[in-house]
């Protein structure tokens, strides 16, 4: 059954990823460039500036001022159109009632699905499956494009090592290599090979750059990163998206080394344009340009316009510095008209590539592609692969299917809105299949499902619902606790200072644990949480993130063994908030601690015995490390082999490792490859992810997994800020996580 299901899914994904030809694909890049230049030559300065303006749609009953601005050629884009009819109405004004007929481009935050809501991006990252993620985002593109959206403000590629930051939910975790692989897959999913196709969107890599390094995990906050950190940690996912052909880039809210991202010539021109040769356009984040006034970087709105355009922001989102001041700046010769032409050329190029000049209108009937069975099947598969098994004491899971009574307890067992997660503009909760509903459908009348919320919401502190929860748990053969955080507790401007389970959840868990029933805790959340104490009181733990529309069936599939869990953590989980930041690719220190070392050292400043880089009250190891995730089977690793232990610059190292499924069911494993450069001219992290592969093994099956590493894969930015590998000794690991693997060593020699 599993084999047949995977065959059907693979066939669907294959067909989904086929390019449906669009109109722009018939034009070469040179032909598009000629059309752009021809149109640009006809435009007045006001019309050019109009292309650089994006407004938030004020609604079908909103101001007529926006419509008049379109007629005057003073608008290039809208975000958040409400319906196909509204979008077509505004487009008709632009195309048929303006002098040049330049179409608008409509953008929307299609972050993790349109109507068919996928797991939050951090949950998708736990699948470590670029192919499946590409398919999921192709579904999002198909649904959104059929409903009038041309352009999505995704993928979010911010590396984050502080789970207090609410927007960690929208990103792909802590590691630049993993985020690069998955971010490129998301870009391909949205855009395909031709984003003029009627089922594709122009993508926007955001937030450029280092936004996820906000101090204290407080949204919009200062980021203090060096150029080397910028290049090695925060820029690589964006470069991968550019290499994948991403159409647009969004400048971030934060400052970088004292210079706000929307006024940063180094990141926007030196790196993005000069080094990477990016040909798309840059849009600011919502009012991020005028917020440079609060940063103390600009004197007034006119200065905002001057510095933003000089830095390389082509389109202004929502704020109005460009429309109010660019014309005067040009007339006063503070800005060269060539800078305006460059930005407009970038914008028009993307509009041509998106096919908007040939097909500006969206046909009615877009609802037909929403929530199709095929779309839901892929959403279910992504949700399954995103689930991470953190604990399975005495092989409690999978649960037997012949249980007479199951107690389903917790505020997130039947919370259809919260299950969708943050940044869901177009998902409807009535289409969500919750765990409770999925369990009822799965068992019918064969098993009694006893449901008690226990707490009204995840934040509830009242305990008046405990009695019913305790009663149902006492009657049940097994207890399923659905805990975590509501959708409103993560996302933009939703940072948290404390990461424990909110409200009275821990008290509820402790009460249920007194019954000594087989108890499984399923956590739905938008970030890593800390739950060390209650983790000891339950037999098994599944981390489900916010799993989207089909999260309920996916969870039930895993609970009862129809699918073996395979998710791996894309971010380290701290034991306590005081450990943050905690991440696997940290640097060593001159006084490194032992992994589990804590307590008051016996030495003194005069005799510093055990004076190391640690805490007195908690060790430095995370609660759950990067790459961690259990399965229902054991995977045995053996025979790690290298093609050589010495390679010269430019050569390739071939690595193989044998993996065996020693369990009794088919299951997937994600084989991970890490290296460490032991001595270099710039100190290197203790481990760096350099490869991963997802494999499926039948019971008893063995497979040899192969990797290749070129010396360029081992390069870093040296003291002269040049990317290059150096001769020296390296350690290498192949295994199940960042802290578990077979080890070998090799040398790069002169």
Question: What is the reported pLDDT for 20?
Answer: 44
Distance of CA 205 to the CA centre of its chain: 11
Other C-beta atoms lying within 10 Å of the C-beta of residue 605: 6
- Cα 249 to Cα 202: distance, rounded to the nearest angstrom: 11
Cα–Cα distances in Å, from 146 out to 366, 381, 466? 5, 23, 46
The pair phi, psi for residue 664, each rounded to 5°, is -115, 10
283, 247 Cβ separation under 8 angstroms: no
Is it the case that residue 19 has pLDDT exceeding 70? no
Tokens standing for 359?
């097909």
The structure tokens 């880039």 sit at 249
Burial status of residue 675 (CB atoms within 10 A of its CB: 0-12, 13-18, 19 or more): buried
- Cα 562 to Cα 556: distance, rounded to the nearest angstrom: 8
The pair phi, psi for residue 624, each rounded to 5°, is -135, 125
User: Could you check whether 383-559 and 635-749 share the same CATH topology?
Assistant: no
Q: Does domain 2-14+30-353 have CATH number 3.20.20.150?
A: no
Vertex 548: Cα angle to 80 and 543 (nearest 5): 135
Name the CATH code of domain 635-749 (choices 3.40.50.150, 2.60.40.10, 1.10.1740.10, 3.40.1280.10): 2.60.40.10
Residue 622's closest CA among 528, 736, 506, 525? 528
Beta bridge partners of 283: 250, 315
Is it the case that residue 438 has pLDDT exceeding 60? yes
- Cα 210 to Cα 254: distance, rounded to the nearest angstrom: 8
Per DSSP, 59 falls in state -
pLDDT band at 594 (very low <50, low <70, confident <90, very high): confident
- Cα 626 to Cα 685: distance, rounded to the nearest angstrom: 14
Tokens standing for 423?
């940044």
Burial status of residue 428 (CB atoms within 10 A of its CB: 0-12, 13-18, 19 or more): middle
Is it the case that residue 60 has pLDDT exceeding 70? no
What is the SS3 assignment for 256?
A: strand
Convert the pLDDT of each residue in 529-573 to its tens digit.
999 999 999 999 999 999 999 999 999 999 999 999 999 999 999
End-to-end CA distance of the chain: 54
3-state helix, strand, coil in the chain (%, to 5): 35, 20, 45
Tokens standing for 491?
């996302």
Residue 732's closest CA among 676, 681, 685? 676
Is it the case that residue 5 has pLDDT exceeding 60? no
Q: How would you classify the pairing of strands 646-648 and 740-749?
A: parallel
Query: Is residue 285 annotated as part of the catalytic site, yes or no?
Result: yes
For residues 215-226, average pLDDT:
96
Convert the pLDDT of each residue in 396-425 to its tens digit.
999 999 999 999 999 999 999 999 999 999
What is the SS3 assignment for 249?
A: strand
For residues 83-100, average pLDDT:
96
**DSSP per position, 670-690:** EEEEEEEE-S-SS--BS-EEE
Residue 360's closest CA among 96, 98, 145, 91? 91
Question: What is the reported pLDDT for 598?
Answer: 85
Which overall architecture, per CATH, does domain 383-559 show? 3-Layer(aba) Sandwich (3.40)
Question: What is the reported pLDDT for 600?
Answer: 87
- Cα 735 to Cα 714: distance, rounded to the nearest angstrom: 19
Cα–Cα distances in Å, from 254 out to 32, 201, 290, 624? 34, 27, 12, 30
- Cα 546 to Cα 491: distance, rounded to the nearest angstrom: 12
Q: What is the mean pLDDT of the chain?
A: 95
Is it the case that residue 577 has pLDDT exceeding 90? yes
The pair phi, psi for residue 561, each rounded to 5°, is 80, 10
For residues 192-218, average pLDDT:
97
**What are the boundaries of each domain within the chain?**
2-14+30-353, 383-559, 635-749
Convert the pLDDT of each residue in 186-203 to its tens digit.
999 999 999 999 999 999
Vertex 236: Cα angle to 274 and 120 (nearest 5): 130
SS3 for 457-486, per residue?
CCCCCCCCCHHHHHHHHHHCCEEEEEEECC
Convert the pLDDT of each residue in 381-398 to its tens digit.
999 999 999 999 999 999
Q: How would you classify the pairing of strands 652-661 and 635-642?
A: antiparallel
Convert the pLDDT of each residue in 134-171 to its tens digit.
999 999 999 999 999 999 999 999 999 999 999 999 99
Residue 739's closest CA among 627, 636, 605? 627
Active-site position among 194, 285, 303, 677? 285
- Cα 31 to Cα 195: distance, rounded to the nearest angstrom: 17
- Cα 151 to Cα 409: distance, rounded to the nearest angstrom: 41
Tokens standing for 286?
């919502």
Vertex 357: Cα angle to 351 and 358 (nearest 5): 130
For residues 712-736, average pLDDT:
97
Question: What is the reported pLDDT for 532?
Answer: 95
Is it the case that residue 704 has pLDDT exceeding 60? yes
Question: What is the reported pLDDT for 599?
Answer: 81
């Amino acid at each position: 059954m599993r084999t047949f299901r995977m065959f059907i899914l693979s066939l669907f994904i294959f067909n989904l990823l086929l390019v449906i030809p669009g109109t722009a694909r018939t034009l070469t890049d040179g032909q598009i460039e000629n059309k752009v230049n021809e149109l640009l030559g006809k435009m007045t300065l006001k019309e050019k500036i109009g292309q650089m303006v994006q407004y938030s749609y004020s609604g079908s009953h909103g101001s007529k001022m926006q419509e008049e601005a379109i007629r005057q050629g003073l608008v290039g884009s809208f975000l958040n159109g409400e319906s196909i009819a509204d979008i077509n109405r505004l487009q008709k004004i632009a195309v048929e009632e303006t002098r040049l007929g330049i179409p608008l481009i409509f953008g929307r935050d299609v972050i993790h699905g349109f109507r068919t809501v996928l797991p939050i991006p951090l949950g998708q990252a736990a699948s470590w499956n670029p192919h499946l993620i590409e398919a999921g985002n192709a579904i999002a593109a198909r649904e959104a494009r059929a409903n009038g959206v041309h352009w999505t403000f995704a993928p979010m590629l911010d590396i984050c090592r502080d789970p207090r930051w609410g927007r960690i939910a929208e990103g792909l975790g802590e590691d630049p290599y993993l985020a690069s692989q998955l971010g490129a897959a998301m870009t391909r999913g949205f855009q395909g090979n031709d984003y003029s196709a009627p089922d594709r969107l122009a993508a926007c890599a955001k937030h450029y750059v280092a936004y996820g390094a906000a101090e204290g995990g407080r949204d919009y906050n200062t980021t203090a990163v060096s150029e080397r950190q910028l290049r090695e940690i925060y820029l690589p996912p964006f470069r991968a998206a550019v290499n994948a052909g991403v159409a647009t880039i969004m400048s971030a809210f934060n400052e970088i080394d004292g210079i706000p991202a929307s006024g940063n010539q180094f990141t926007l021109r030196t790196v993005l344009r000069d080094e990477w040769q990016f040909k798309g356009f840059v849009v600011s984040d919502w009012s991020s340009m005028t917020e440079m006034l609060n940063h103390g970087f600009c004197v007034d709105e006119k200065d905002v316009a001057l510095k933003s355009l000089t830095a390389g922001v082509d389109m202004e989102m929502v704020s109005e510095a460009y429309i109010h001041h660019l014309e005067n700046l040009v007339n006063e010769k503070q800005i060269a008209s060539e800078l305006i032409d460059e930005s407009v050329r970038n914008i028009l190029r993307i509009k041509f590539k998106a096919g908007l000049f040939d097909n500006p209108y969206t046909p009615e009937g877009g609802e037909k592609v929403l929530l199709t069975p095929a779309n839901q099947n892929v959403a279910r598969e992504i949700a399954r692969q995103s689930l991470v098994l953190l604990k399975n004491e005495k092989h409690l899971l999978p649960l037997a299917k012949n249980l007479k009574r199951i107690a389903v307890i917790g505020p997130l067992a039947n919370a259809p809105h919260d299950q969708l997660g943050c940044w869901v503009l177009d998902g409807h909760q009535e289409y969500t299949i919750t765990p409770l509903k999925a369990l009822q459908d799965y068992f019918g009348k064969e098993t009694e499902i006893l449901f008690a919320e226990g707490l009204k919401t995840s934040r509830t502190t009242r305990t008046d619902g405990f009695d019913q929860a305790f009663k149902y748990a006492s009657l049940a053969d097994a207890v399923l606790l659905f805990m975590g955080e509501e959708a409103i507790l993560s996302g933009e401007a939703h940072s948290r200072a404390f990461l424990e389970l909110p409200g009275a959840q821990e008290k509820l868990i402790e009460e249920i644990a007194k019954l000594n029933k087989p108890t499984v805790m399923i956590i739905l959340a938008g970030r890593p949480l800390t739950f060390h104490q209650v983790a000891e009181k339950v037999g098994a733990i599944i981390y489900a993130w916010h799993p989207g529309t089909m999260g309920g069936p996916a969870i039930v599939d895993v609970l009862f063994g129809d699918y073996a869990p395979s998710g791996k953590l894309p971010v380290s989980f701290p034991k306590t908030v005081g450990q943050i930041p905690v991440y696997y690719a940290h640097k060593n220190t001159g006084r490194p601690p032992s992994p589990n070392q804590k307590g008051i050292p016996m030495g003194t400043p005069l005799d510093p015995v055990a004076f190391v880089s640690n805490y007195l009250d908690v060790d430095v190891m995370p609660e759950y490390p990067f790459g961690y995730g259990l399965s229902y089977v054991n995977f045995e690793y053996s025979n790690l082999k290298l093609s050589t232990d010495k390679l010269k610059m430019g050569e390739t190292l071939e690595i193989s490792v044998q993996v065996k499924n020693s369990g009794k069911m088919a299951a997937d494993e994600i084989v991970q490859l890490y290296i460490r450069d032991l001595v270099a001219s710039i100190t290197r992290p203790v481990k760096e992810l350099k490869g991963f592969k997802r494999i499926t093994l039948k019971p008893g099956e063995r497979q040899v997994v192969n990797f290749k590493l070129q010396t360029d894969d081992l390069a870093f930015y040296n003291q002269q800020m040049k990317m290059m590998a150096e001769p020296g000794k390296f350690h290498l690991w192949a295994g199940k996580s960042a802290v578990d693997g077979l080890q070998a060593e090799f040398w790069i020699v002169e």
